[in-house]
A and B are shown apart, each in its own frame.
Chain A
């Protein structure tokens, strides 16, 4: 029996689309009668309304408690994978704090690089890895010395290593020259002689330049320290330590739709704030799942939404979303109270006492649950006034 379209139209907007769609499919499959369809959809609506959050429900506290309680069970240890299959990854509580604080420099930046096509053989794989992995100048030099007499830096290249890494002289020199614009580079047989163009060159200055020379990016993608091939669900993927999402997804062989980074800020920069929000959800669920903890996804989504709702990723810290609370008292009762109180007093901030913390502080009913509803009534006196 066909599904009653009128009925569905009637419920459109009252029940979410996906729910209606599933209902249509199931009703079709089972062949519900029109009367039963009506009954079923009424029940669905009832369930749907029942599972909605009620006004005055303390979702913030419930979310915080939902993270806080399992958090006490989380072990502080970081996992150590034996062998080379996967690098050491910060997990557990430290990682969770890292995500929620929205730290800019995360302790173990990692990318999961998916490939469009599986590489045919090891050679192809190695080629691909060489394309991604960053090679710094220090890796291809045999010797780097400071000649104090001439105030120059002499570099001897490691030809064998260069051959292994397929680095030829010309691109190398080009890379050096473009990065080190203030240094004259002379190619003298086996020796590269570098003479800084600075007028008054001091020895510490020369030493600093030497360190800079070692860090020059020669090949691969900047920031990717290590790349390891890993089999995941029969699919070969690359796991990199260090991230550079933008450059990696530009590589032709890389499947940009699946490739991810665990650096939330990078996701926000490259893929936008919605992706960052999903990134937070994914990273947090991963941490919790690894620890064997079960927290409802909606709690994670709620925090992620709060962290990204302004368009930039903000941590749950005094400089992030907690510091943006409207109430002075609420902010002061979190961290650095005197700073908040003095700053507020200088601009004459008014605390409207609209939220929970302030009302607990002054011992008034909190505007939640039973304390939320007010009484709307007309007093006897008012009526007379109106007349």
Chain B
């Protein structure tokens, strides 16, 4: 007797589990049982599990009987003439969906070539081993699998046309690529996904060579001419949102140009972009800390004190300003109302982003890198026919990563752009490399894609043949303009007196524990002290009780609160964090006594 569970509930037992499972499957295939159930016999636990619940990941497979797939030639013909459809195939028991549990019981052939009598299912197409995005990688079967993962991951980060109604949308942190192009080398998935309606890259000319060391460690060199012609330009959008909040007691925020008597009034200059309604005018060029939306709020603490205070009715300035380190042009303004009925102002800032050193680019093969240098077109290496590449890619990025697909795409792109046609790079069914080479040869180029090239500065011929071609390159959303950060002095934390953290707040860059170890290892004792001086303080220590004393600036004299004024008190320089530690020790009942000794 084998226990049977339906959706993890015990329902009874069967004598012959295997026969039972087979029968259930047959009934399902005959469409007598719902298609959404899956059944499996688990020999380890000796139980039959039937699942009907939602949320199982299932995938369709062609059923195979004795090595013959149920999907026959006639079905395909009928499918092509639209006599039958997918649902029909499922209904007729030709295709069925398996979940993870039932898959354990199945033996799936990837291709009809490999079908044997033992197989129970056939994959609809071998490309189903790849996901939607991964299928966009051309010549994927020529690449290393982990690079495919990375390739699809970088494609998700690429800039393009993210939504066709972008003009009306207010999204946080989005970019729009100018003049995106559809790829020359594409796969079937590009057609399936209508990729040409929302492409996300450019077809560019690429040379695989090192160049003055500016493209080592995955860096890339860009042609300044190409950049000036508009390569990889994008617009960066960021919304600034202000809500007119309502507070207790009928007080409200007020959007408008603040009056001069408002607490915290900036200066007239800061409000110069605001119109009478307190909102910036469209196409205003804003710099950091400029006011986007003027707003005043009621005083923070409302209480009995109000009656006595003269400044009681002082409103607070609470305008929204452009974030630190950012700038942009006012692109779009929406004045609406939110769910609570409060006035809502949304201002969208646009910023033109021209490729600069540090911006990240990637091909579709997991080969990503940042710009190391932008070279004037006159200094770029050129081919015998006078072509200068848009991008120079380092050959050192290739051997260890084994992204052969990257190289084939270059040849494919070259053939495609010379012949004026698209190249099919679909996984397992792509136009073969041999054909590409042949076409290239027929068009009067070297079949391996290399060309003689000349140094752009000296005009000397390079002794090596350089691999030049065309490929699809994407600009990724990581741009230096959003990441660049440095600071000398600035805001500090209240508790520890150490610099605050984070770029948006203008925080410091932490010299962490391991970096400290490095200073120690070099014996750079005093340099280390200086680096950690950010929270140094001078405290007065009572030499009697060894605790902190008080310095009276009025009298210019220090005294100890415990031992009185007639005791020696010395100034000591130490980190504020240590002073804090001493305070915390006192708080848990430990008496930290300092014994002072002259250092010299």
B421 at the interface (CB under 8 A from A): no
Question: Which of A338, A360, A361 has a CB less than 8 Å from the CB of B528?
Answer: A360
- Set B517, B525, B575, B591: member contacting A362, Cβ < 8 A: B575
* Segment of A15-23, A249-257, A303-311, A365-373 in the binding face: A365-373
Assembled-state Cα–Cα distance A58/B585 (Å): 30
Instruction: List chain B residues, Cβ under 8 A from A356.
Output: 520
Does any Cβ of B come within 8 Å of A126's Cβ? no
The answer, yes or no, to whether B536 is at the interface (CB within 8 Å) is yes
Docked complex Cα distance between A345 and B520 (Å): 29
Smallest CB-CB separation from B574: which chain A residue?
A: A362
Which A residues touch B521, using CB under 8 A?
Answer: 58, 61-62, 65
Within 8 Å of chain A (Cβ to Cβ): is B595? yes
Alpha-carbon distance A364/B599, docked complex (angstroms): 11
A residues 302-352 near B (Cβ < 8 Å) are 338, 341-342, 345, 350
Q: Report if A57 contacts B (CB, 8 A).
A: yes
Given A64-B517, A360-B528: A342 and B523 interface contact (C-beta under 8 Å) = no
**Which applies to chain B's interface (DSSP): helix, strand, loop or mixed?**
helix
B323 at the interface (CB under 8 A from A): no
Task: Report the minimal beta-carbon distance from B547 to chain A, rounded to whole angstroms.
Answer: 14
Closest to A344 in B: B590
Query: Which among B522, B529, B574 is the interface contact of A365 at CB below 8 angstroms?
Result: B529
A56 at the interface (CB under 8 A from B): yes
8 Å CB interface, B309-325 against A: none
Alpha-carbon distance between A366 and B532 when the two chains are bound, in angstroms: 12
- CB-CB under 8 A for A369 and B575, given A58-B520, A61-B517, A345-B591: no
B90-118: CB near A (< 8 Å → 1, else 0) gives 00000000000000000000000000000
Residues of chain A lying within 8 A (CB to CB) of residue B600: 375
The residues of A that contact B574 with a CB separation of less than 8 Å are: 362-364
State which residues 53-71 of A face B: CB under 8 Å: 56-58, 61-62, 64-65, 68
- Interchain CA distance A360-B561 in the complex, whole Å: 29
- Give Cα A369 to B527, complex, Å: 11
Q: Report A263-295 CB contacts with B as 1/0, cut-off 8 Å.
A: 000000000000000000000000000000000
Shortest A2–chain B CB gap in Å is 45
Known: A64-B517, A338-B588, A368-B520. A360 touches B526 (CB 8 A): no
- From residue A330, how far is it (CB to closest CB) to chain B in Å? 13
- Is A361 within 8 A of B578, CB to CB? yes
Residues in chain A near residue B516, CB distance under 8 A = 360
Are A360 and B532 also in contact (CB < 8 A) when A61-B517, A342-B590, A345-B590 are? yes
Beyond A342-B590, A360-B516, A365-B529, is A370–B575 a contact (Cβ under 8 Å)?
no
CA gap between A369 and B521 in the complex, in Å? 8
Q: B526 to A371, Cβ gap below 8 A?
A: yes
**B528 contact set on A, CB distance < 8 A:** 360, 365-366
Asked if residues B575 and A363 are in contact (CB atoms below 8 Å), the reply is yes
Q: How far is the CA of A370 from the CA of B522 in the complex (A)?
A: 9
| Chain B residues near A363 (CB-CB < 8 A) | 529, 532-533, 535-536, 573-575, 577-578
Q: Which residues in B have their C-beta under 8 angstroms from that of A61?
A: 517, 520-521
Name A's B-contacting residues (CB within 8 A): 56-58, 61-62, 64-65, 68, 338, 341-342, 345, 350, 356, 360-372, 375
A-B contact pairs, 17 of them (CB 8 A): A58-B523, A65-B518, A68-B514, A341-B585, A345-B592, A356-B520, A360-B532, A361-B581, A363-B535, A363-B575, A364-B574, A365-B529, A366-B529, A368-B523, A369-B525, A370-B523, A375-B600
